[in-house]
Amino acid sequence: MDVTVQRTPPLRGTLSLPPDKAICHRAVLAAALGIGTTEIHPWPLADDCQRTLQLVADLGVPVKKSPQTVWIDGRGDAGLRAPTQELFCGESGTTLRLAAGLLAGQPFTTRLSAGPSLSRRPMRRIVDPLSEMGARLEGRRMAASDPGSRELYPPLTVHGRRPLRAVRCEMELPSAQVKSAILLAGLFADGATSVVERVPTRDHTERILRAFGAGIRREGRGVTIEPGALRSPGALVLPGDFSSAAFFVVAASCVPGSRLVLEGVGLNPTRLGLLEILKRMGGCLTTTVSEEGWEPRGTVVVEARSLRGVSVGPSEVPGVIDELPVLMVAAACATGTTRFHGVGELRVKETDRIRSMVNGLRQLGARIVLPAPDAVEIDGGPLRGAVAESAGDHRTAMSLAVAGLVAEGATTVRGVACVAKSFPEFFDHLRAVAGSPTVKTVDNP
């Protein structure tokens, strides 16, 4: 499927975003381990979340689903059973990495397989700490392309152990997925397990485990979890996905005269780096928290303003890792130069997102240089419509579509069916605020 986007008049309206995928994954895994039935509402359409739900069902957890709600009858910490076949994670790295942590503490062996893109993503970052805890993990090596590398790739075979060894893990790379895998494994350890972060990452796992009654605490840069059973809190209402909102936040910031109201958005402080960077660029954004609860949520109001270039440093990157592609679009629309440093993690996502975004924005006339493998500099200026490739990456596809809203003429982004991975409703939402003639999708034969 391709999409053609025309330069748009001001974006106006109010949107409710789909449920947060990052929180959904964690809620499903915690519910599978919890004692009692957990109701999760609203249920996302994103393909990634379906993978996690199917995974727990394949581990013997009873699951009931309606279009808007999922009910999970938790089996307790000793209730999971060995699957009869490998567990397919599709292209969901969150599913695979978090499940590896959960399965490390099970008294059986499991094989986690993946789709083509995820099968090229590195897994040593979770294999090493889980191995230190006593589990044994086996992965695939790419000896032909990099014979000297220790790196491992899916499929992963997890030989679980119970109890695991309690560890104190000093994380070299900031990664919420790695932290989450260790904390989930820590539920099955023989004592308190701690993760110490050099740079804080999103804290959804800590929040969801606390909601399920886990003994978890933060001390400075460290998070410590005590082993023990989880208990269902009953109903969980998922907030709107901030990473999905980010595309509309940037679009409304860049299209002159725009004003959008985004309702029910998750406003977890560890996820709001995009807003802080846009404010530094001169953006006009206000947030109102309407509910604190286990995850804060509320309203974001965005009004268009002239943006200016800024520098984004390595300490900011973990908090905006999913939003960096669309931030590059904001940089292309700004006055002056925006510099991104320490963004090398983008090269090991569903695709090399530095390459896919640089290639796509250059097709639209953006001036970009790469001073280092993990750095990007973008000189803002007028964009022109052109044909650009998604590279099979959902965030690249949506970001380039946003760029098309401000480019002169028509912009076609090829291969946008991949948005179903995280935000299948994206183009419907974009049409709602930009108008149907502005955004047209075409199914390829």
Which residues participate in catalysis according to the annotation? 322
CA distance 231 to 34: 5
Taking the CA atoms of 220, 222, 228 and 233 in sequence, report the sign of the dihedral they define: positive
Report how far apart, in Å, the C-alpha atoms of 18 and of each of 41, 262, 422 are. Answer: 11, 11, 10
Residue the block writes with tokens 């539920």: 187
What are the residues facing 271 on neighbouring strands? none
Which distant-in-sequence residues (6+ apart) come within 8 Å of 354 by Cβ? 343, 344, 346, 347, 370, 376
Q: Taking the CB of residue 269, how many other CB atoms lie within 10 A of it?
A: 12
Which of the 8 DSSP states describes residue 408? B
Q: Give yes or no for a contact between 430 and 11, defined as CB atoms under 8 angstroms apart.
A: no
The widest CA-to-CA distance across the chain, in whole angstroms, is: 62
Taking the CA atoms of 408, 414, 417 and 419 in sequence, report the sign of the dihedral they define: negative
Cα-to-chain-centroid distance, residue 49: 11
CA distance 419 to 425: 8
Q: What is the CA radius of gyration of the chain?
A: 21
Identify the CA nearest to 186 among candidates 248, 288, 101, 119.
Answer: 101
Report how far apart, in Å, the C-alpha atoms of 86 and of each of 114, 116, 309 are. Answer: 10, 16, 48
CA distance 38 to 383: 48
Please tell me the number of Cα atoms within 13 Å of 380 on its side-chain side. Answer: 20
Identify the CA nearest to 22 among candidates 203, 154, 172.
Answer: 203
